[in-house]
Structures are given as structure tokens and as C-alpha cells.
Amino acid sequence: MARSTGVRVGVVLVLAAVVPPVWGQNRLVNFPTHLTVGRGTLQVVFTHRFTQTMADGGAEELFGLDSAADVGIGLDLGLGRNLELSLYRSSFFKQLEASAKVTLARQGEGWPVGMAMRLGAGYRGARGVEERWTGIGQLVLAREMSSSFELFLVPMFASDTPTLRRAANLGAAFAWHLPKNWDLLAELIPANGDAPDGATAWAVGLVKRVPGHEFLIFLGNSRATTVDLLAGSDLPGGFEMGDVRLGFNITRRFPE
């Protein structure tokens, strides 16, 4: 009996050493999911959005890779299984966005869909900006259609955008989980009807997941990463439906 117990303890210790802790896929390309990073997990996120389109850059500018970029860095901290605090800073508008996300339901635990609420505020620190503060909110609805395919609806709200007051929008996304920890992601958010020069934003990305890390590379037409710019679709300088830009996200979690 003692030997059997010792073997079981040894197996548990070995598994704890080699199996990464359970964590939630809490982000897509720009949208949140209904999951949190998990209790006791700190996640660091780097975002990179090239400003030049592939067509404007051409081969000479390596299809936009030689252009300037909007760079962001964020932290996600899991305070419990269903609670996550986030802080994100983007060079676009020198904007700081702070938020809390609560998972309200998980599909399969007595609920037909997964659901989360994310609330927070943003501050634009760039010079010459009149409306610096904005309140933000997002509701995430997720439906797992199969073990490899998920759909998301993300209603969102911002009290102020660069040109609008009380902007609302509805984003949609899907995640296709491929073999060997590859995922194909896509996001779509319609042009805000109140924005005179707004355009529908889209993004399609491929992500590779390894223990503790994720690397996402994607194509999209918008440089927006914060809720106000996503909801308002009124980025300074504008963008067109047919624009194609390169971008990527790098994510690192502690512990792995």
C-alpha cells in the first residue's frame, strides 16, 4: 500500500513538472473571449500594427514591413477562475486602457453559451486631443459549435471616440482550432453608421500556441486595438475596406 501511494505521488509530481497549468484563451486578434487567463496567471501581450498597407508599400518597402507601426503592450492578471484585470497601452493616441473582465457563464456548465462582461476606461495622452477620457464596455457571447470551431459575438460601447459620443457596435469572430496547436482566427466589425468616414474592419490571423507562448500574425485593414477605435471605426486618417496591412501579437504567460 505504501509503495502504491508513493508511486501515485511520484506520478503527480512528474505531471506537475511537465504539464503547463490550465489557462484560458482570453484574446482573439483584437477582441476578448469569454475566458480569463486563469487564477494566478500573469500574461504579457505585445501588439504591432504596421501603418502602411501592403499595396502602398509594395516589394520595395517589403509590403509595409519597413513602415512605422502602432505598438502596444498589455498585462492581464488572473485573480480567480472568472476574474481578470487588464492594463494596455498603445502608441496610437498614446492611449491607456484599463479594464476588468468577469466570466459569467461557461458553455457546458449548465449554459448553452459562454458569456463575459468587460468594463473599463481609456485615457488618450496624445497632444491636441480634446476628449481624453472614455468609458468602455464589452459583452462577449461564445458558442462552441464543435471541438474545433467557436463563434463569438461582441457587442461593445464607448462613451467617447475621436469623433463620436456614445458609440456602439457589434463585432463577430470565429476561432478554428487546427491540429498541433494552430488556430485560424477571423474578426469583423461593421462601420459605425454615425461615423462619416467609417469603414467595416476585418482581420484574419494564424496563431501558433506553445507552452507559455502564443505568436499571432494576421492581415487586416484597421490599425485599431482599443475599444473606442473599434466601436467608432473613426480612426484618424481613415481606412478602407480593401486595405490590407500586416500585424502581429506576441503573448507570454507566467507561469507557463
- The pLDDT assigned to 110 comes to 87
Assign 71 to helix, strand or coil.
strand
Phi, psi for residue 34 in degrees, rounded to 5? -85, -5
Instruction: Calculate the average pLDDT of the chain.
Output: 88
Report the run of H or E that residue 4 belongs to, with start and end. Answer: helix 2-18
Q: What's the CA gap between 61 and 170, in Å, rounded?
A: 35
Q: What percent of the chain has pLDDT over 70?
A: 91
Residue appearing with cell numbers 499595396: 55
Query: Quick check: is 11 in a domain?
Result: no
Which residue segment(s) compose the domain that 196 sits in?
A: 21-254
Strands (E) across 62-164 are located at 69-78, 83-90, 95-105, 114-124, 133-146, 149-160
The answer as to whether 184 is a domain residue is yes
Of 98-107, 132-141, 209-218, 236-245, where does mean pLDDT reach its minimum? 236-245
pLDDT class of 6 with cuts at 50, 70, 90:
low
Specify the pLDDT at position 157. 97
Q: How many domains does the chain have?
A: 1
Query: Domain for residue 2, yes or no?
Result: no
How many of the other CB atoms lie within 10 Å of CB of 207? Answer: 23
Q: Which residues share a beta bridge with 98?
A: 87, 121
State residue 18's pLDDT score: 38
d(CA 176, CA 149): 5
217 compared with 196, residue with greater pLDDT? 217
**H or E segment at 227?**
helix 227-232
- Find the helix or strand (DSSP H, E) in which 12 lies: helix 2-18
Would 185 be classed as within a structural domain?
Answer: yes
Residue 8 falls inside a structural domain: no
What's the CATH code of the domain at 197?
Answer: 2.40.160.40
The answer to whether residue 16 is domain-embedded is no
pLDDT of residue 15: 36
Residue 56: per-residue pLDDT: 83
pLDDT in tens, 199-220: 999 999 999 999 999 999 999 9
Is the pLDDT confidence value at 231 over 60? yes
Do the beta carbons of residue 102 and residue 82 sit within 8 Å?
Answer: yes
d(CA 112, CA 142): 9
Q: Cis peptide before 112, with omega less than 30 degrees from 0?
A: no
pLDDT > 80? residue 179? yes
- 146, exposed or middle or buried, with CB in 10 Å at 0-12, 13-18, 19+? exposed
Tell whether 1 is covered by a domain.
no
- The DSSP output letter for 184 is E
Considering the domain boundaries, does residue 13 fall inside one?
no
The strand pairing partners of 20, in sequence order, are none
- Of 224, 202, 216, 221, nearest in space to 252 by CA: 216
pLDDT digits (tens, 9 = 90+) for 27-62: 999 999 999 999 999 999 999 999 888 888 888 878
Summarised one tens digit per residue, pLDDT across range 52-96 is 888 888 888 787 787 888 999 999 999 989 999 999 999 998 999
